[in-house]
Structure 1
């Protein structure tokens, strides 16, 4: 239907969904959070008794944690460098233990005739 004036994804009688169909909006409270990069985030929360506002919120711009105190935001998390499989193995075993395991594996391969 080229050039038609039908609205795709709609049905006859569909109108904008307004407050009358959804019900009344809950009262909201807006809280400001600041990260260590100085970004401000202002999420809103339902204002209901018994519900508490979180102390920290993740900054949507940089991903660092953000707090409600602009002068003293939470410190960014310490990023551990990438470790190889060998680095994890070396944490668990000493060089002497590794040499013993290697000798056992080589002897097993030699006994099966896979290496000389």
Structure 2
């Protein structure tokens, strides 16, 4: 076991491979302009589909130079809890349930002992 150890090296800190003969992937720099005047430059692979919009460091949407703003996608409004409830029950059913719950609460309140102190 001792003859297989790598003495004098820092495992994980340095690679035993050299960068010799390694060609980096071909890239292009895409430039985006923010409405607040910022310029964002992002490197992309030459094979990548370059998006027309990129989020700027200020949070605004930066537009790719020499491109047009894409049309916003149509989206459905978010369903709320109330919308989902109305899919399962009618207003009349909900009123019946409310009356039942209120009757239970009122009965429990009457049955509870009073904790008042007499003066």
TM-score w.r.t. the length of structure 1 is 0.49
- Which structure's CA Rg is the greater one? 2
TM-score w.r.t. the length of structure 2 is 0.48
